[in-house]
Structure formats: structure tokens, C-alpha cells
Amino acid sequence: MPDTTTTADPYAGTASAADDRIYTVSGGDWDDVISDVHEHNAERVVVNMGPQHPSTHGVLRLVLELEGETVTQARVVVGYLHTGIEKNCEYRSFTQAVTFLTRADYLSPFFTETAYAMAVEKLLGITEQVPVRAQVIRVMMMELNRISSHLVWLATGGMEVGALSAMLYGFRERETILDIFEMITGLRMNHAYVRPGGVIQDLPPGAVEKIREFLAIMPKKVDEYHNLLTGQPIWLKRLQGVGYLDLTGAVALGASGPIMRAAGYPWDIRKTQPYLGYETYDFDVPTQPDGDCFARYLVRLDEMRESLKIIEQCLDRLRPGPVMVEDKKIAWPAQLALGGDGMGNSLDHIRHIMATSMEALIHHFKLVTEGFHVPPGQVYVPVESPRGELGAHVVSDGGTKPYRVHLREPSFVNLQAVAAVCEGGLIADVIAAVASLDPVMGGCDR
Amino acid sequence: MSDQPAGQPSGAPQMSGVQAETGDTTSSGELVPAGRRPSTPRPYGGYFDHVADALARAYPELSAAVERTVVDRGELTLHVRREQLRDVAQQLRDDAELRFELLSSVSGVHYPMDTDAQLHVVYELTSMTHNRRVRLEVSAPDADPHMPSVVSVWPTADFQEREIWDLFGVVFDGHPALTRIMMPDDWPGHPQRKDYPLGGIPVEYKGASVPPPEERRQYA
């Protein structure tokens, strides 16, 4: 049997009893493994799945205890993508920290940026002074991001249960959103676009038209997903009645967002504790009563439609105006402009500080190197991210760097539900159940 | 010489720290650690008074359990003694007038200058029934970093307490399986503590060398 070896495994530890056998499976025929397992009368098999596995959304590791094909215990091991983002923020100015935080949940960076920026604004006491245009742009970017995040979920989740067309469709539409992001922020990912005080630059010419084009095509695409998947027998068989989590379980495990709404409870922070003027937008909170993977799928598709409604209202509300607070002690001094070699400080601004105003140069230098002081205190600001409640707990000691930044990451908290949605089911359903939780390991491990 | 930019009206309120109690924008004065704020006098405002009253009715020993009650920036923080944390938590979850059924977030903060209370754990509670939020803050000294686990009250605290054990070294008594979650199992130390260095190496760029962030000039 070339593919199953029973040699010593350096990672297996020393605790295993003499008759425990370790199978290192890398390709080959599953029947060979099974027959070997049966030969040794092993009723209980512990399978290690991940951290490098195509259907674990990055580097999630699952340890599954099986009896036959039934999962009796599921344990989730995280931390493989821990990059110390929170620790690094303590060594950077309040503005620089955005550059780190945007890399946490790489599929929905605008939500992390906005939660953090709103927390810093609350500490500074300038929440009311953030210009309306900046707030509208933030809402618009977040809702575009919600759609792109759900599309990645549809694409990867669909692929994992064998619906390859969903993968192609999902990534195709996401690309159009990433093009919009690239046009507005300069980057497809890791934007660092939302800063304390507003957003770093205004929408470029043509952005509104590009978003309107997207709004024109996207509703038809959502219909396409419904036509492709919603009534499809294999899709239904893989998702219906799988990965069940009721409302009690969701609240106890802290699983918010689409998971809770798919269990029938319309809890959405945009509605219940509105921020950035969400109370003035007209949109619904979709729910489903069933609490299974299929309900989560329907909730996410419906949320895309609601996000489209919000984006349309944002475009109608955009009025010319500043996108950063007036206070020059907080607003980033540089005026970005597009030059021959890409985005950078505008030459007018450089001419102003280098040639005409010593005070402006000192001000620019101090604000960029030292940053602004934030009065001591702590705040917690939650926003409704595509995965649930994303909160920023920011502590300031009065200095120019955050004393502590903590992200309440929905991916991290929701993964605690893995045992609840997997145990008692079949091993094949583990894939669908974990995918329906939509974990993003960059956010989970931070 | 003023480093105020031209065009800023001189009488305009400054928002970069002057509104703080100290009025200190230079940060050269004494800094007030966020963990050591004095109690806020009544009334707290909003639903905070109702929450405090309901909690006092549900848990008669409340005055002994709560060290300070702070209202800051529209957020209510109850500084609870660690001995009574689980009882207070249970009442906050179960009492019909409180019903904080969702533990949103658990976060650790290390204040080395806060004598005998260096390690703080911050619990953000959400009541979905009444649509309210409240924060609990509990502290323990570095010398005795023990705290009761609230996993029995809110199962969602499981991973978050493991994270705080891993990154701060707080031992949550009663946690079902308190093991590291972010760092490798054999990692020495607790990285998010203030006495744990960030690390890093100098980076060369065009002949000059940029020191690691820890060794750069400090401003605050």
C-alpha cells in the first residue's frame, strides 16, 4: 500500500497507546485506507483535516472523531494565521493602525476600517463632525463590500459542495466590485481607505457612473444565482437540514450575523443600533426560519439585494462636500493626487509645505510622524459585517498611539459553532456546515 | 510660533485632546490610565440608571461587588470585583429586566502601572431583548492572575478567554479547556502584555537603515 504509511509521525506526540495506528494519507484510494482500518478493527477514527485543505477557507484545522461516516466530535484549531495585528497597532499612530487592521479580515476590510475609525472618532469626541459625504461613502463602500464578501462565500462554498458554476459566477461578479474598489481606493484589497475623521480621498471622476453600471447588472445576476442553485436538487440535498443551529444555540455561542438571522431572529446592528445614519436608509433585514445551511444561503442572497438598495440610496445622497473632518489637527495633511507614477502627495501640497509655509511644513511633519493625541478612555464600537457583529475595542492612554486595539471578530467567535453544526452529522456535511459559517481566517486569527 | 495651519480660525475649538479633563495636549503631563477612572455620580443618564437599579434589585450584594461605575462617552462600565464576577454575570444574563443574553466581546488590557490590578478583562454585554449594551471590567494583579471563567454563563466566552490566557496570561478558573489558541502550544510568554517586546529587525532602504518600530522615537 504505497499511499498509507504507518511509520512514526513526528507530530503525533508520545501519548498514543501502542496499538494506536497513524495513517498519513496523501492521495491514493480511500478504500485502501478503509480496508486497512477494518483490518485493525478500529471503530473510532480521528481524522485531522487541514490546516492545508482546499475546503477549510484558508488555514482552519478540524480534528474530527468518526464512527463510520458519522462525526461524533468536531474540534476546531485556529491560530495558523495569527499575525499580531493587535500588538502591532500599539506601536503605530492611530492613523497608521488602519493599515494593519485592514489586513485582518481581508474579504471585508471596509468594515474593520470603519469600526476602528468610528471608535477613534468616539474617543476624540468628533463623531458628529465627520462630514456627511464621508459617512455616505463609508456606507456605500461597506455595502459594496458586503456583496463582494457574500460573493466569495457563494463562490468558495459552492465549489466545496461541488457547484463549480457558482464559483465561476461568484468570482466573476466580485471582480467588477474589486474594479470599483481599485478605482476609488487604488487597491483591490487592503485599502486603508477609511481613516479616523473620514475617508482618505474623495471619489474619483467616473466612480458614480461605474457603480451605477454595476447596480444595473447586479440584480439580474442575483436572479441567475437563484435560477442556478435555489431549486437545484443536488444543492438542496447538500444544504437542506445540514448544519442546523437554532436561535438558542446561536445566542449562546455568540454566532451573530447571517447565522442568527437564518435561525429566524432579525438582529442586525444596522437596524437595532444604527450608526452612520443607517436608520435613514430604506432596507429590510432578511430572515429564514430553518437554521440550516440552506437558510444561511437564502439569507445571504437576500442581503445582496438589500445592499444594492442601500448603495442606490447612497448614490442619490452624494452631495459635494468635504470627506474629512475640518480640524486640521486630525485630518491627514497630504492632499492625494494622481501623478505620472500613481497616487501620491499632490505637487501643489508639496510646493506649499516645501517652498512657501514653514508652519505648514512643521504641521505636516508633526502630524505624519507623531500623529494626534487621543484623550484617555476606552470605547467599543460594533458594526454589522457580512459575518456578524464586528466590534472594535480601542483604549487610549492619551498618547498618539492606541494603547490597545481589540477586534471582536465574527469569524473567530462564529467558529465556536463548528462542534454544534457538525457533530452527529456525516463527514461530508462538515464541509457544507463549516462553509455556511463563512469563516475568514485572516480575521479569525488576526 | 504656532503650528496651527493658516485658515483655521483661532477661536475654533481644538479637537485634538483639549476636551479631555486635563486639557493637556502635549502629553507631557500625568496620563490617566483608562482603568483608573473615578466613579461617575448619579444620574448616569439614558437606560444606565435603570440597568444599575435592576441589577441592584436582582443582586443585593451589588455595592460590595462593584468597585466603580463609570459612564464615559455614552458607555457604561461596571468595574466588578473578580470574586463576584460570576454571580453578577449570572444575574445580568437571567434577570428579566436585564437579559444580557449575548456576550459580544471579551478583551484583555494590560496596565503595568495599575498597582495590584495590572491585568484587566473587559466584557461587552448585549441585551437583545432590551437593545442595550453594558461593559464589565474585572482586574487581577500580575502576581495572582486568576479570574473566574464565565463560560458556564455565556458559552461564547470559551475561545475568547483562551485568547486572553494565550496573549495576556490570565488564568480563567473553571474554563473547560484553557489552552493556547493563537500561539503555538509551546510558546514561551504572553505576547500582548506590555512587558513583551514587539521584536523586529532593522530594515535597510537605499543605504539608510530603519530601526524596528519599538526602537524608533517615541512621542507619547
Q: Are A65 and A44 in contact (CB under 8 A)?
A: yes
Q: Does any CB of chain B come closer than 8 Å to the CB of residue A82?
A: yes
Q: Which residues of B touch A363 (CB under 8 A)?
A: 3-5
Residue B69 has pLDDT above 70, yes or no: yes
Find, among B90, B67, B87, the residue nearest to B79 by Cα. B67
B156, B183, B220 member nearest A252 (Cβ): B156
Domains of chain A and CATH, by start: 85-326+372-445 (1.10.645.10), 336-369 (no CATH)
- pLDDT one-digit tens code per residue, A234-260: 899 989 989 899 999 999 999 999 999
Residue B10 has pLDDT above 90, yes or no: no
* Burial letters A216-255, b for 16+ CB under 10 A, else e: eebeebbeebeeebeeeeebeebbeebbbbebebbbbbbb
Q: Does any CB of chain B come closer than 8 Å to the CB of residue A380?
A: yes
| Residue A161 confidence (pLDDT) | 86
As a whole number of angstroms, the distance between CA A167 and CA A172 comes to 8
Q: Do B135 and A380 touch (CB under 8 A)?
A: yes
Length of chain A: 446
- pLDDT one-digit tens code per residue, A297-327: 999 999 999 999 999 999 999 989 888 888 8
| Residue B103 confidence (pLDDT) | 92
Length of chain B: 220
- Cβ contacts of B4-10, under 8 Å, gap ≥ 24: B4/A328, B4/A329, B4/A359, B4/A363, B5/A328, B5/A359, B5/A360, B5/A363, B6/A357, B6/A359, B6/A360, B7/A328, B8/A328
Q: Are A319 and A133 in contact (CB under 8 A)?
A: yes
How far is the alpha carbon of B192 from chain A, nearest alpha carbon, in Å?
6
Residue B12 has pLDDT above 80, yes or no: no
Find, among A61, A85, A89, the residue nearest to A75 by Cα. A61
* Residue B211 CA: distances (Å) to CA of A295, A309, B191, B199, B204: 52, 49, 20, 11, 9
How does residue A266 score in pLDDT terms, banded at 50, 70 and 90? very high
Nearest CA in chain A to B112: A403
Higher pLDDT, B176 or B27: B176
Q: Do B213 and A391 touch (CB under 8 A)?
A: no
Residue A6 has pLDDT above 70, yes or no: no
305-344 in chain A: CB under 8 A from chain B = 325, 327-330
Q: Are A336 and A200 in contact (CB under 8 A)?
A: yes
Q: Do A325 and B191 touch (CB under 8 A)?
A: no
Q: Are A304 and A157 in contact (CB under 8 A)?
A: no
CATH of domain B34-187: 3.30.460.80
Among A90, A287, A404, A408, the residue to mutate for chain B (most B Cβ within 10 A): A404
Q: Does any CB of chain B come closer than 8 Å to the CB of residue A124?
A: yes
Phi, psi of B164 (to 5 degrees): -75, -35
How far is the alpha carbon of A332 from chain B, nearest alpha carbon, in Å?
13
As a whole number of angstroms, the distance between CA B77 and CA B135 comes to 5
Q: Does any CB of chain B come closer than 8 Å to the CB of residue A362?
A: yes
Nearest CA in chain A to B75: A379
94-113 in chain A: CB under 8 A from chain B = none
Residue B4 has pLDDT above 70, yes or no: no
| Residue B6 confidence (pLDDT) | 40
Instruction: Please tell me whether residue A408 adopts helix, strand or coil conformation.
Output: strand
Nearest CA in chain A to B12: A327
Query: pTM of this prediction?
Result: 0.86
Q: Are A264 and A289 in contact (CB under 8 A)?
A: yes
Q: Do B33 and A376 touch (CB under 8 A)?
A: yes
Nearest CA in chain B to A446: B182
Amino acid code (one letter) for A48: N
How does residue B20 score in pLDDT terms, banded at 50, 70 and 90? very low
- Interface predicted TM-score of the whole assembly (ipTM), two decimals: 0.83
Q: Does any CB of chain B come closer than 8 Å to the CB of residue A375?
A: yes
Residue B172 has a CB neighbour count (10 Å cut-off) of 23
Q: Are A381 and A118 in contact (CB under 8 A)?
A: yes
| Residue B13 confidence (pLDDT) | 39
Q: Which residues of B touch A125 (CB under 8 A)?
A: 15, 19, 73
Tell me the average pLDDT across A126-145: 92
Q: Does any CB of chain B come closer than 8 Å to the CB of residue A413?
A: yes
